Amino acid sequence: MSESPLLLQASGLCKSFGGIRAVQNAVIEVPRGQITGLIGPNGAGKTTLFNLLSNFIAPDQGKVIFDGQEVQHLPSHAIAAKGFVRTFQVARVLSRLSVLENMLLAAQGQTGENFLQVWWQQGKIRRQEKANREKAMAILESVGLAEKAQDYAGAMSGGQRKLLEMARALMSDPQLILLDEPAAGVNPTLINQICEHIVRWNQQGISFLIIEHNMDVIMSLCNHVWVLAEGTNLADGTPAEIQSNEQVLEAYLGV
Ligand SMILES: Nc1ncnc2c1ncn2[C@@H]1O[C@H](COP(=O)(O)OP(=O)(O)OP(=O)(O)O)[C@@H](O)[C@H]1O
Ligand SMILES: [Mg+2]
């Protein structure tokens, strides 16, 4: 069987909160190797769609296929273990842990988690911890956070926390990273750096789905853009097509 060009393919996704239909019959596709955008006005359902794709919230209906397999019934940690990870609109780093400790929490397949294994395999655990530490430091180095490795994550700026969350996502060797507003509340210099990192990680083979209100970021990074409004698909196309789509402009201007 040949590999599908689509790494992620979701269809018919629905989610209501009480009377609010946050996501209705939504469709989204992420081709392998590409950077895909997801835009839409405030409250359009973008973050809810991310929550459904990664099963942080169970969909009322719908199907999510990641790398050829249905994943909508899997717990989110099992989806992450398959190489599909996400970041949050408000970065979720543990403020009272160091930057390095935040990175190490994300390491996959830690032998030391099981008591008997701890007893029998101390040498193996030490080697694995050393390898995780080296990997974490190399990633921190590559994003310019190595000097902060021992600092509390809570002492960092909002933008640096977003960067740390992305760096932490890399610890699990992902195929696909979902980024929820990586540029929101971040200063322009750091936005440029974050965009450069995303391009570099993409060149290394990682695919991205990015929610962002900053249109410069979407237009410069994305191969293809999906637009959500009031919980449903409004349009999708190249950045240039989306920029000149009248329905999209209307949805944003609310006319
Ligand atoms: N846990 C929840 N309980 C109740 N309502 C919710 C919940 N999560 C989201 N909603 C509602 O669902 C709708 C979509 O919200 P969502 O956060 O997905 O939008 P968004 O497109 O990410 O917006 P923004 O651009 O402001 O981040 C909104 O009306 C929101 O109030
Ligand atoms: Mg949101």
Residue in this structure with the two tokens 């974490």, named with its chain if needed: 136
Q: How confident is the model at residue 228 (pLDDT cuts 50, 70, 90)?
A: very high
Q: Which of 21, 23, 28, 46 to mutate to test the pocket of ligand 1 (most atoms within 8 A of CB)?
A: 46
User: Which residue did the predictor score with more confidence, 89 or 2?
Assistant: 89
Query: What residue ranges do the domains of the chain occupy?
Result: 6-93+157-253, 94-155
CA of 105 to the centre of ligand 1 (A): 28
Instruction: Tell me the one-letter amino acid at 158.
Output: G
Summarize pLDDT for 115-160 with one digit per residue, the tens: 666 667 777 778 888 889 999 999 999 999 999 999 999 999 989 9
| Ligand 1 closest atom vs CA 49 | 18
Angstrom distance (rounded) from CA 205 to CA 200 = 9
CB 210 within 8 A of CB 38: yes
CA of 51 to the centre of ligand 2 (A): 10
Q: What is the pLDDT of residue 154?
A: 92
**Is the beta carbon of 51 within 6 A of some atom in ligand 1?**
no
Question: Which strands sit side by side in the sheet containing 20-31, from one edge to the other?
Answer: 20-31, 6-17, 61-66, 69-70
CATH architecture group of domain 6-93+157-253: 3-Layer(aba) Sandwich (3.40)
| Ligand 1 closest atom vs CA 51 | 18
Lowest pLDDT segment from 104-118, 164-178, 190-204? 104-118
Summarize pLDDT for 4-35 with one digit per residue, the tens: 899 999 999 999 999 899 999 999 999 999 99
CA of 109 to the centre of ligand 1 (A): 33
CA of 184 to the centre of ligand 2 (A): 10
The encoded tokens of residue 59 equal: 């969909």
| Ligand 1 closest atom vs CA 89 | 27
